[in-house]
Every structure is written in C-alpha cells, then in structure tokens.
Amino acid sequence: MATVAYLGPAGTFSEAAVRRLGDVDALPARSIPEALDLVRDGAVDSALVPLENSLEGSVPVTLDNLLSGPPLRIVGEVVLPVSFALTARVPLDEVRTVASHPHALAQCRAFLRAKLPHATTVEVLSTAAAARAVAEGTVDAGICAPIAATTLGLPLAAEDIGDRPDTATRFVQVVTGAPGPAPTGNDVTSLAVYIAHDRVGALLSVLTELAVRGVNLTRIESRPTGERLGRYVFLLDCAGHVAEPRVGEALLGLRRVCAEIRFLGSYPRDVDDAPVPAPAGMSDADLLASEAWLSGLRGMFQA
C-alpha cells in the first residue's frame, strides 16, 4: 500500500484530507518540512501538505519549502471543506473552558459570543490537541475537526460553527520521480516565476504571456525570496495541463521573460466546477488548425 506523509497529529483536518486519497498508509509527520523530507529521502511515496487558506497557519512553510528545497512535483490536490465542530464533556450551559488552536478560536468568534459567552478560551497547539484535552478532562469543551472527536469517541455538541461557511483548505500531494498524471480536461499547473521586482511592468509581461495564449490564472501570490524583503517570486496557478498546447506555449513564453522559472506540477483539480472553456480561437482544434496553416506557409519556401 502506498505510504503518504502528512502534518500530524492524527485527528486534524490534515488527516481528513489524507483519507480522501483512498486506501493509503497515512504517516503523521511533526512538521511540514519533515513530511516533505520524508518524500525526498524515499521514506514515503508521497506527502500531502496544506498549500492555501490553511487555518493552522502553515502555508508559507509549504511554499517556501517547495521553492527553496530539492525539487518535488505536485501530482494532485485535495480541497477539503473546513467545518468546525464543538465537542464537550458537559452540557453547553455548563461549559467554563473551551480549547482550540488560536486560529480556530478566531474563526468561531460569533459562535463563542452567542453560545458560550462566559467560557474562558484556552489556546493549544492544534485542533486535535483541543479534542485530546477534552478527552483528558483538562477542559470542558474543544473546537476541532469532526474527525478528531469521533476518533476519540467524543460527542459533537455543535457542528459548522465557523463564522464563514464554505471555507476550505487546499492540500497538494507531492512526489519525487514518479510519472505525473495525464491530462483530464480540468487540470491546474503550478509555477514559481522569479522577476526583477523593480522593473515597472515585469509582472505585466508575465501575465501577458498567459493572456495571449488564453490561459487563465486562478491564483497568484508574491513571496519574498528570502534574500531580502522586497525581492519576490510569484507563485502562479494556471488552468490547464503542461501537455496541452496552450499551456505549453505559455510556459515557453514565461521562460523567456522570467529570470528563472520552477515548474511545480500539472494535476487534476479537486473541485466540481466545470473548467472555463478556451476563449474563441484557442481550443486545441484551433491550435492544430493554426499549426497546419503555418506549415503550409513554410512549405512554400526554399529550405
């Protein structure tokens, strides 16, 4: 069975994400860098790490490690709805202490004000630790992932208690040498591009390369390069797969205008959205027709 490292401890949203991969042997790591190094060292087949909108605050660590560490390739993603639950050992009106990770407490402020206005909040290192604290009896209640409570046999006193419904965490599965997934028609390509930050219009050039090929940008983030605050690398998620003509051509263009480019992977999207269709004249059939036209023109010339 394939082994997958993830950010432990067991019982967090990260474990819930791993379960979405099917029948795998899930191995909790103590940190994201440790999970990624387990892949690099060959100790596991892959790792599943949070990339975006994590409530545990770990995304910058993932990004920086993927950018500056030995190369890893993203082969899949898991978008996990984040649904907070309250587990309690006592009836709600008797709860005097409620534990969770600071971010989870922050995300559930409206619930806490309305339902537990007199409870004291206790900050712990993870939502799983909050569930364990309830199980161990050190606090009356905890905010955690439903999976954490059920794993420990704890009751769910309230579900979906976050201030913002429909939040989610996006995890990516990374590997070293294995072949990447074939195109599915609804893929993402992740890239890191480095540009000289003080040239007006440098990023404009980058985006023009995408727009000209009708390639949609679904996410962009500038990150300091570590050399110094103010020197940036841009992380881009583009719709499509490197094997598709449009995306391939856009990558060629990006490589020309960027100081450096790191290809992070092409992989299927884990969302229900239909892919945005190619703009007029940009379908694969259109591109093939264009290529045939150009070949015809070139055939009229002396070698």
Site for a copy of itself, residues 212 to 231, rule: CB under 8 A: 212, 214-222, 224, 226-230
Phi, psi (rounded to 5 degrees) for 231: -105, 125
Give the nearer residue to a copy of itself in terms of CB position, either 90 or 288. Answer: 288
Give the nearer residue to a copy of itself in terms of CB position, either 150 or 243. Answer: 243
Shortest distance in whole angstroms from residue 42 CB to a copy of itself:
18
Q: Is 96 in the site for a copy of itself (CB under 8 A)?
A: no
* Count of residues that bind a copy of itself according to CB under 8 A: 92
Beta strands 187-194 and 260-268, pairing class: antiparallel
Contact residue for a copy of itself among 13, 84, 171, 234 (CB under 8 A)? 234
Contact residue for a copy of itself among 43, 96, 109, 185 (CB under 8 A)? 109
Q: Is 90 in the site for a copy of itself (CB under 8 A)?
A: no
What is the strand order of the sheet 46-52 is part of? Answer: 25-29, 3-7, 46-52, 168-175, 73-81
Q: CA geometry: angle at 106 spanning 100 and 112, to 5°?
A: 75
Q: Which stretch in 20-28, 92-100, 145-153, 293-301 sits in contact with a copy of itself by CB under 8 A? A: 293-301
Query: What character string, x for contact with a copy of itself (CB under 8 A) and - otherwise, covers 117-146?
Result: ----x-xxx---------------------
CA 239/CA 248 separation, integer angstroms: 12
CA distance to 17, 44, 45, per residue, from 1 (Å):
17, 11, 10
Give the nearer residue to a copy of itself in terms of CB position, either 73 or 132. Answer: 73
Q: Which stretch in 55-63, 84-92, 111-119, 146-154 sits in contact with a copy of itself by CB under 8 A? A: 55-63
CA 173/CA 298 separation, integer angstroms: 44
Please say whether the dihedral angle defined by the alpha carbons of residues 128, 133, 136 and 142, taken in this order, is positive or negative: negative
Shortest distance in whole angstroms from residue 257 CB to a copy of itself:
7
Residues 13 to 32: which contact a copy of itself by CB under 8 A? 30-32
Shortest distance in whole angstroms from residue 255 CB to a copy of itself:
5
Cα diameter, the chain: 89
Q: Is 57 in the site for a copy of itself (CB under 8 A)?
A: yes
Residues 146 to 205: which contact a copy of itself by CB under 8 A? 164, 166-168, 170, 179-182, 197-198, 200-201, 203-204
CA 31/CA 47 separation, integer angstroms: 11
CA 265/CA 259 separation, integer angstroms: 19
Q: Is 67 in the site for a copy of itself (CB under 8 A)?
A: no
Give the nearer residue to a copy of itself in terms of CB position, either 156 or 289. Answer: 289
Beta strands 73-81 and 168-175, pairing class: antiparallel
Give the nearer residue to a copy of itself in terms of CB position, either 88 or 206. Answer: 206
Find all residues with CB under 8 Å of 235, minimum gap 6, and list them.
63, 67, 190, 191, 192, 219, 220, 221, 222, 223
Give the nearer residue to a copy of itself in terms of CB position, either 93 or 285. Answer: 285
Phi, psi (rounded to 5 degrees) for 33: -55, -40
Exposed, middle or buried: residue 234 (CB in 10 Å: 0-12, 13-18, 19+)? buried
Residues 248 to 287: which contact a copy of itself by CB under 8 A? 248-249, 251-253, 255-257, 263, 266, 271, 273, 276, 279, 281-282, 286-287
